[in-house]
Amino acid sequence: MAQAKSGSDRMEKIVSLCKRRGFVFQSSEIYGGLNGCWDYGPLGTELKRNLKDFWWRRMVRERDDVVGMDGSILMNRQVWVASGHENTFTDPMVDCRNCKSRLRADQLPEKNGRKQCPVCGSFDLTEPRAFNLMFKTYVGATEDESAITYLRPETAQAIFVQFRNILEVSRKKLPFGIAQIGKAFRNEINPRNFTFRSREFEQMELEYFCRPENGLELLEYWLQERLRFYRDIGLSSESLHVHKIPPEECAHYSKGTYDIEFEFPFGIQELEGVAYRTDYDLNQHQKASGKPLDYFDEESKQHFIPHVVEPSAGVDRTALALISAAYDEEVVTDEKGKSETRTVLRFHPRMAPIKCGVFPLLKNNELLVRQAREIVDQLRGEMMVFHDETGAIGRRYRRQDEAGTPFGVTVDFDTIGENGPALRDTVTVRHRDSMEQERIAIKELTAFLGERIR
């Protein structure tokens, strides 16, 4: 296996593959891009969709204690005042007086105990000052103070402010959760590492409400559940790390936080935070809005504010982790002894953007092409399929290897009965990782592939 030499070398190859194959493009590329913003192409969009669908399936549909919501991105400014974001959602920023770069004060390299500008090497830096990460905007036609609000920097707050409504309509009893997937925006001082730290990104968040006495136990439960999720989408246990945040570094209201981290090519970095946020958020919103956000316990006949455990994951970070983990290069030798490097994305089949490539052996044979088209029609309702009839079959396999397609179906002369009736109406199924092939009856294909991609 020809492993990429170093993390940065590997990362460069991943970024290049993402662009070449249509996973991720720079946003507004033809105008020079927009720093910290990315567009997902056809394969990247399917990958993200599979990830979000599987999260939703695991976190909402397979449970009877979680319901979903889909909140607006723009909310009343008072939400952000009450949550503390308007005053405290900041990063420390410095300016380099020499090259005018804006830098995150807590990420500066040091030389001989002095902070240094990573762009020009100067030590002439301003004092750190707090920079609010929320994007400010105006609602309506007047751009004055009363019209100010922000693009949401997390999806969680919509869940807290709708807690009462959702409790009433869902008629859930504690413990229960509200899940949401959606865009969030942060004006990061230093977006970096490709999509890892972006200014516009998507979150998958669950707020799991509980009795105060169950908070700590549920924190451990959700940590394990979330690790199981990552393993089930194809990230190995060895590549995942749990970092328990020391109490002095936790938010003042948190009684415990774990970061789930992944070994990216650029280092071990956070994928998800699992935090026990106590009753802080509901309390804040109850105080600020004057509206009750408590829970009535029918057994004890008492009212109280529920506590909450929050597993909060990033879609883009997880998609990048999936691509990083899947990326592989291997030297393969054909029957004539010719060697070449095969680039392959070894996605778990349930995450793979395209599940199956369908290939008529020859483009100019009408029977082969028609049969292949019929197979595409048969599979299309169940999964993402791709018909490819151009180029040598080996090249078509390689193209799908690079896209991470786990199965390739080839329609050949046996399929159409030209070599006798024995293999008529069967196709070869090629497995991406082993490159082994097996013969399957066309009528069994949907079930054969279906059980392997779910």
Q: How far apart are CA 216 and CA 212, in angstroms?
A: 8
Indicate the Cα dihedral angle 366, 370, 372, 374, nearest 10°: 180
Segment contacting ligand GAP by CB under 6 A, of 80-88, 196-204, 246-254, 428-436: 196-204
Between the CA of residue 139 and those of 86, 87, 135, 157, what are the distances in Å? 17, 20, 13, 19
Interface mask toward ligand GAP for 158-187; x: CB under 6 A: ----------------------------x-
Q: Looking at beta carbons, which residue is closest to ligand GAP? A: 314
Q: How many whole angstroms from its chain centre is CA 408?
A: 26
| Per-position b or e across 316-341, b if 16+ CB within 10 A of its CB | bbbbbbbbbbbbbebeeeeeeeeeee
Decide whether 151 or 271 has the Cβ nearer to ligand GAP: 271
Q: Any residues with CB less than 8 A from the CB of 276 and at least 6 apart, and which?
A: 215, 216, 218, 219, 254, 255, 256, 257, 307, 308, 309, 310
Q: How far apart are CA 53 and CA 338, in angstroms?
A: 42
**Tally of residues, the chain:** 454
User: Of residues 48, 58, 197, 255, which one binds ligand GAP by CB under 6 A?
Assistant: 197
User: Of residues 15, 18, 178, 313, which one binds ligand GAP by CB under 6 A?
Assistant: 313
Decide whether 229 or 386 has the Cβ nearer to ligand GAP: 229
Smallest gap from Cβ 241 to ligand GAP, in A, equals 13
Segment contacting ligand GAP by CB under 6 A, of 87-95, 140-148, 309-317, 363-371: 309-317
Q: Is 270 a residue that touches ligand GAP (CB under 6 A)?
A: yes
User: Of residues 91, 261, 272, 389, which one binds ligand GAP by CB under 6 A?
Assistant: 272
Residue 327 host element (H or E): strand 327-333
Interface mask toward ligand GAP for 142-161; x: CB under 6 A: ------------x-x-----
Q: How many whole angstroms from its chain centre is CA 278?
A: 26
Segment contacting ligand GAP by CB under 6 A, of 4-12, 193-201, 239-247, 425-433: 193-201
Decide whether 36 or 175 has the Cβ nearer to ligand GAP: 36
Strand partners, 303: 296
Q: Is 226 a residue that touches ligand GAP (CB under 6 A)?
A: no
Are 432 and 344 spatial neighbours (Cβ–Cβ below 8 Å)? Answer: yes
The footprint of ligand GAP (CB under 6 A) covers 154, 156, 186, 188, 197-198, 201, 203, 205, 270-273, 310, 312-314, 316-317
